[in-house]
Amino acid sequence: MKNVLRIVFSLILVTLPFANAVMATGIGGPPPCWPPPCIPIDGGLSLLIAAGTILGGKKALDLRRSRKRSA
């Protein structure tokens, strides 16, 4: 079993640099939008803010409830 793992890990270590080089090549043509750093953050950022607000409200409510029980 150890020999099989060694072979698998050595094959992975050998193929990773080649896979990285293949993934780094571009298709060509103009960028999909201009200026090039096109990162849409509107939808995801608002969802993260909403999730953080909900989680913070729940934690504050749980803290308030636990203080009432102990008092």
38: CB partners within 8 A, 6+ apart? 31, 32
Residue 67 resides in a domain: no
> Residue 31 pLDDT > 70, yes or no?
no
Residue 15 resides in a domain: yes
Residue 12 resides in a domain: yes
What's the pLDDT score for residue 3? 83
Q: What Cα–Cα distance (Å) separates residue 11 from each residue in 1, 15, 24, 48?
A: 16, 6, 20, 39
Q: Which residue has the higher pLDDT, 22 or 66?
A: 66
Rounded Cα distance between 59 and 70, Å, is: 17
Model-level pTM? 0.42
Residue 50 resides in a domain: no
Residue 46 resides in a domain: no
**What residue numbers bound the domain in which 7 lies?**
1-26
pLDDT band at 53 (very low <50, low <70, confident <90, very high): very high
> Residue 42 pLDDT > 90, yes or no?
no
Residue 68 resides in a domain: no
Residue 17 resides in a domain: yes
Rounded Cα distance between 59 and 14, Å, is: 48
Residue 10 resides in a domain: yes
CB-CB contact of 38 with 31 (8 Å): yes
Total domains in the chain come to 1
